[in-house]
Structure 1
Amino acid sequence: MRTQVGIVGAGPAGLLLSHLLARRGIESVVLEARSREYVEKRVRAGVLEHPTVELLREVGLGERLDREGMAHEGVSLRFDGEEHRIDFADLTGRGIVVYGQQEVVKDLIAARLADGGDVRFEVSGVRIEDVTSDPVIHFDGGELRCDVVVGADGFHGVSRACVPHTAHDRQYPFAWLGILAKAAPTQDELVYAHHERGFALYSMRSPEITRLYLQVPVDTDADDWSDARIWDELHERLGTEINEGPLLEKGVTGMRSFVTEPMRHGKLFLAGDAAHIVPPTGAKGMNLAIADVRVLADALTTHLQDGDDTGIDGYSDTCLRRVWRAEHFSWWMTSMLHTDPAADAFDRRLQLSQLRQTVSSRAAATTLAENYVGLPHGSV
């Protein structure tokens, strides 16, 4: 087989890139190791920045998002027994939408297949070769020759190993124990709680499903936490009304920051989690992936249709400016809200001082709000 763009990975980055390219008359093939059922049910991020929502609407993917997504105009920070709302609408004139990553993926798969797009699931044995000359993606049962290859196959995929790179890595001394519960949300917006026993987050996925997190040690086994223990700890740390319900999912997620530089080698381009990871505190992961492929779609269009390499030559630097802004914001949120097991009383008083400044200063609150709702694409 031959195509113009071979895409490894059918997550939001790979699927959206394929969709954007198709609208410009550029052929692509998407290869995914997992089954369609798996990728459509894989629960991940749920916060869509304002620029992400605008882009999805612009390219014809807003119908179910607008019908089922939950628009939020702020978040709350809770500490010292009090809750403080950061009003995004007032501070920035914009907001966010809570709409699960798996829902974005469902919409993209449906759109690609309806347009005759070539998306192949359960493709095994993928390896990428000759990325500096005539790229080819080998897989069990065949090969795909391409003008360019895009690695959108996540942190554990095969693509990043094909790019000579410098890795910037920071692992945090705590993790998140997350649950998905069949319980109607009692809050209209997300609540971030700083507590002496550890951080907690109240969020939601739909009017019937609640998503909640607890800070736990990195070596935590989710099976050691009974449902009753989880609910008791959430009540303690959040200090607010919570509906309890049967758990649909329970798991532990490590916290890390990771950046690959550069995001390109020859005719291979990395996008999304294949190139960078952020701690989930700032809700940036999926949004960064979408920002990557928006830049990449423009760059590949001018390269393949006009022979202009300006965009692809600048791809890595352009994306990394936004990546490092998101890394800083995510680190700042994480450091301000979590209880570091190695921190002393001095450190904890610094955290409380930062929290008080953030909720009492309009300038500080605006900085949080601007970063949270998403800086305009192309502005960083």
Structure 2
Amino acid sequence: MRKSLLAMAALMGVATLPAHAWRVNIDKDTFADIGFSTIVRGISEGKRSESPDEKSRINFYVPQFNITASGQVNKLVYFNMNLEGRAANDSPVVRDSFIGLKFADEFRVQAGLMRAPFSRVALTSAYVQLFPYTPRYRDIGMLVVEPTNVGTVVNPRDAGVVVWGNVADGMVKYYLGVTDGDTIGSSTDNSLATTIRLQFTPTMLGYKPEKGYTLSDTYLGRQNVLSVGFGYRVVGRSGTGVRDTKMWTVDMLYEQKFGNLVPNLQVGYINQKDTRGRANEKASQLYAQGQLLFDQMMGFGKPALAIRLEQNQNKNIHGAGANENDPKVTRLGVWGHYYIKGQDAKVSLGLDSVSLNSEAKNRSCAPTTFTSPRNCRNFTDITLQLQTRF
């Protein structure tokens, strides 16, 4: 069962399928795997503003749950659907829904709604991240540089067509996408986004390629990985005086097992130019993160320690004052993970410390701030998170 699911992961482009998804078989070439995943979070949030009414608070919530179906009609045609809900008051939405044609491992075509193949972050599910994605850390007094939808924080998906494949048994992986861009869902959209991503793995040195469409922050010692990726994306825009938004990124993941220890290191840089279509308005993100996993059972799970340093910066923001040209936000995260059954059952406890420079604080507290509520002071959050996948 597990071998068949891992084979399906390679076919479908899923980073890591749960080990016990429910498989529905029609015949030997036609089947679907049904999965359920959820995250439960408790968070102690530090004070966000200098208001005398502002207080630290503790919240419990379900940031997301997912019901997935992925499989194949025959050896040529495959499909994927992902229904996601985020909170009790939100209606579930379709995050992924696409149909794929696998002509060869080197040449596949996917059409529908899927992750934009730009950066490593955009191609990584929340269930296989070392640090839970929390939009509040990326939109404090700043424009967002990740996910790829410019000026939004919620969805790195895009609708369109992506051609991708693995060349030389995965030594080189490529993506070519033509999609709707950041105006997804708009009936007046008359522009497109063009995306290219190349990823290289030195398989001649014994490293295993990441052959799926999506990626993972860690493979928990199951395979040694060294991948270097480069992405470039142009989001077409229309209107007088409006420029196309251009983005590029470079990233790297290294993970290798040494006895009972599995060190992991990932670095990345993302750059935007003419953000929001405005000339010379720029945004960038630089991050470095790593994990050290002890690959032996201690009690009923395997412990790991992860650290991330991230810096987001904007330049030449339209309408900014003399002291507000370069808002910058720095985040330091320290997380402990306890893998009860890999990513299928995990407990995490983490601390996130967020620092804003004076320009970011000024802009966040201004009446025209990009964010709500107004986050205009340094703060620290402590989070306990439970995760399960089936």
Query: Which TM-score applies when normalising by structure 2?
Result: 0.23
Q: Give the structure with the higher percent helix.
A: 1
- TM-score in terms of structure 1 length: 0.24
More strand by share: 2
Structure with the larger RCO, 1 or 2 (CA within 8 Å, 6+ apart): 1
